[in-house]
Amino acid sequence: MAMPLDRAEIPAKYKWNAESVFPDRAAWRAEKDAVVNAIAQLETYRGRLKEGGQVVADCLESASQLQRRAVTLIVYAQFAASVDSADTEAMGMTGQMGGVFGRLGATASFIEPELLAVGQDTLNRWTAETSALQPYAHYLENLFRLQKHVRSAEVEEILGLATEPLFAIDAIYDQITDTDLKFADATDSQGGKHPVMQSTWEKLRSSPDRVLRQSSLESYADGYLSFKNAITANYLAAVKRDVFIARARGYNSSLEASLFPNNIPVEVYHALVNTYRKNIPTWHRYWEVKRRALGVDVMRPYDIWAPLVTDEPVISYEQAIDLISEGMKPLGQEYVDILRRGTLEERWVDVYPNTGKRQGAFSTGTQGTHPFIMTSYSDNLFGMSTLAHELGHSMHSYFSNHTQPYVNTDYSLFVAEVASNFNQATVRAHLMKTNPDRTFQIALINEAMYNLHRYFFIMPILAQFELEVHERVERGESITPDDLIELCASLYEEGYGGVVQWERERIGITWAQFGHLYANFYVFQYATGISAAHALSAPIVAGDSAAAQRYLQMLRAGGSVYPTEALKLAGVDMTTPVAVEKTFETLAGYVAKLDELTR
């Protein structure tokens, strides 16, 4: 496998449009200084929120716009830091923003205690009388729902000041895994060497060469095992941060602290885990079907990503945009036109891997910027699917940012993972319907199972892992690196069901490979998200135009309603396990179809 290109070798049209945010770093520094100076202006509202609705509206709008400007700064800083781990200046810029957010949080800490002191009835009356306050109606409603977890102004100020050191833990993980962590070269069946890096790992593990797949998986796992002590210490610090914040705000658990602000019952979390465990035999059937299709005596973890056809479809970036556009047509021409303009003209996407580029893919941006995407595109169905996923996020942000006032643009993770998985499910259904070629359908199902494996197998495993670790910390138990490896390995053992054979330590270190665990109880929302996505996609693909309009209504709602209510707008109730069960039915259908096609 060839080395990734140097950043300078990649044409500009395949790099995200950073200059649309700031023309250069000097302009970024000037805006950062301006934001820091403007933060002090919030102090002019301290002690005055009892004066009336217009004063409250002015204060909230000032704080909201400072937040928007600060987010714009961090978006720009992330550009270079994400694509060049050696760019120490960019790393420093992201580090500086931790201090800016900490200062903003500390300065604004008086707002919520003062609003609570005014009282909900008075604020409701002021909102009805003051048009400038009406965009904040949902925020104010939620504030009083959260009232018992808002501390005094002094404590809120301390919590705000603690933001920078507490969340520096996340950056430490990124530095370890993106900069310090090195991997041994992988070896193919002919003795050739292949560099293993965060930006190349996923392509190597899906090679048709079984020796290369094994070697790359072992190299990747061994790299993380070599840092198991440092990564464990860092992750446990993040868990203790979650527990500290939960206790400081008076929650019963860190799980409740994570879900309550978005009005998600903890029962949704437990229902997801229980439904997954009940349906694990579906995964066991899949492992056996794929083992037979591959023609191997024993299924190994590195076979999970193996291709099932020798002539995988080759799909360029531009072809991927065409296929995604065709697949998303049930949502209407406006959706497709915006998507094509963003990807082909406005340079939303940083497309290809390059030396020093961080792992994975993500969507970022805020009101006033494009909804940018970082990916490491590969010319195949997997690359196209990842791009469709991130475009789901970006299109969600686009509609939210162009419909809602800033305070309501930030939708929750619970809803975000629906939009991303919806695009994948919808495009996949279109391709399955329009391309009956047997080889293509096998390759497409293989991609679908790759996606479901990540979000509907790995993420429920990590959800169980995360909950157990948090509960152990809450009980005051000591935890070692080997404890975490053993816990993770045991969860995989249940999922593999004796069909997939593996090395316990190498599969047990999987938890360390997911930075998602640093976002408190994030991973389960991938599984609920893919469930809601399939439930919403099916009628839209079948031609239900009313369902398409309901879905677009959800995208435009942003964060103006609670996430479970947003999904009900679209047509799915995630407080019940129905959508999860239906997605297991979809999974079982893919397994049966793959069994048929490969016999």
In which band, very low, low, confident or very high, does the pLDDT at 95 lie, cut at 50, 70 and 90?
confident
Mean pLDDT in residue range 516-526? 92
Mean pLDDT in residue range 115-135? 97
- Distance, CA of 396 to CA of 478 (rounded, Å): 41
Task: Give the pLDDT of residue 198.
Answer: 85
Token pair of 408 as six digits = 């309501």
CA 337 to chain centre: 25
Q: Which residue in this structure is represented by tokens 């973890």?
A: 301
Mean pLDDT in residue range 117-130? 97
What percent of the chain lies above the pLDDT cut of 90? 86
- Distance, CA of 361 to CA of 104 (rounded, Å): 29
User: Could you name the CATH architecture of 168-181+227-313+406-599?
Assistant: Orthogonal Bundle (1.10)
pLDDT digits (tens, 9 = 90+) for 156-202: 888 888 888 888 898 899 889 988 999 999 999 999 999 998 878 88
Mean pLDDT in residue range 107-111? 94
- Distance, CA of 569 to CA of 400 (rounded, Å): 15
Q: DSSP labels for 460-509?
A: HHHHHHHHHHHHHHHTT----HHHHHHHHHHHHHHHHTTTB---HHHHHG
Helices and strands in the chain: count of H runs, count of E runs: 26, 5
**CB-based contacts of 372, cutoff 8 Å, min separation 6:** 16, 17, 75, 79, 348, 349, 350, 363, 364, 365, 394
Does the domain spanning 7-161 belong to CATH 1.10.3720.10? no
Secondary structure of residue 388 in the 3-state scheme: helix
pTM of the model: 0.87
543-to-44, 332, 548 alpha-carbon distances in Å: 55, 11, 8
- Distance, CA of 196 to CA of 220 (rounded, Å): 7
pLDDT digits (tens, 9 = 90+) for 208-246: 999 999 999 999 999 999 999 999 999 999 999 999 999
pLDDT digits (tens, 9 = 90+) for 570-579: 999 999 999 9
Average pLDDT, the chain: 94
In which band, very low, low, confident or very high, does the pLDDT at 560 lie, cut at 50, 70 and 90?
very high
Report whether 366 contacts 69 (CB < 8 A). Answer: no
Mean pLDDT in residue range 18-47? 97
Q: Where are the domains of the chain?
A: 7-161, 168-181+227-313+406-599
In which band, very low, low, confident or very high, does the pLDDT at 543 lie, cut at 50, 70 and 90?
very high
Secondary structure of residue 310 in the 3-state scheme: coil
- Distance, CA of 263 to CA of 267 (rounded, Å): 12
- Distance, CA of 232 to CA of 414 (rounded, Å): 27
DSSP 8-state assignment for residue 359: S
What percent of the chain lies above the pLDDT cut of 70? 99
Task: Give the pLDDT of residue 3.
Answer: 65
Kindly report the length of the chain: 599
Nearest of 397, 411, 328 to residue 367 by alpha carbon: 397
